[in-house]
Structure 1
Amino acid sequence: MKIPQQHYRCPLGRLQPQVTDLEVIKQSGWRDQHILVVSPDDDRLDWTERELLRRIGERLYGTKGASHG
C-alpha cells in the first residue's frame, strides 16, 4: 500500500503578499461606488480627455506646487 507523502508547508508562506490587479480594483470601484481612479498620463486617453482630467484635478485639489494652509 502506497501512502502519499505529506509536503511540509512553511508557516511563512501565509505572510507573502498577494499580488493585486489594480485595474480590477479600479473597475469594481467605478461599478460599485462610482469612484473613478485614472491618471491623466494614461495612454488610453486622448489629449482632450487628459486635459479635462488635469483641469478637474486642479479645480478640486489645486496645482502641484500649491500648499494648503
Structure 2
Amino acid sequence: MAKPDDRSDNVEHLQEAIANTMENMREADDFLKAHREEMHPEDAHAIEQKNERREAAIAGFREEIKDEVNDARTQS
C-alpha cells in the first residue's frame, strides 16, 4: 500500500537543501580562489559551471517553497 503524501516538512527540507547548496558554492569559490593558478583551466571552468547549476537549483528550491506555502494557504 502506498504511503500518504506527507508534505508537512517539505519547506524545512528545501531550506536545508538551499543552505547546503550555498555552502557548497562558497567552498567551491574558496577553492578556486586558493588554487586557480595551479588548476587546469578546464577544471576551473567545470567548477564555475557547477556553481551556475547550483544557482539554478537554489532558484528552483525557492520556487518550490513558494508553491508549498501557497498550497498550505489554500488547504487551510
Same fold (TM over 0.5): no
Which structure carries more relative contact order (alpha carbon 8 Å, separation 6+)? Answer: 2
Larger Rg: 1
Task: Report the TM-score when normalising by structure 1.
Answer: 0.27
Task: Report the TM-score when normalising by structure 2.
Answer: 0.25
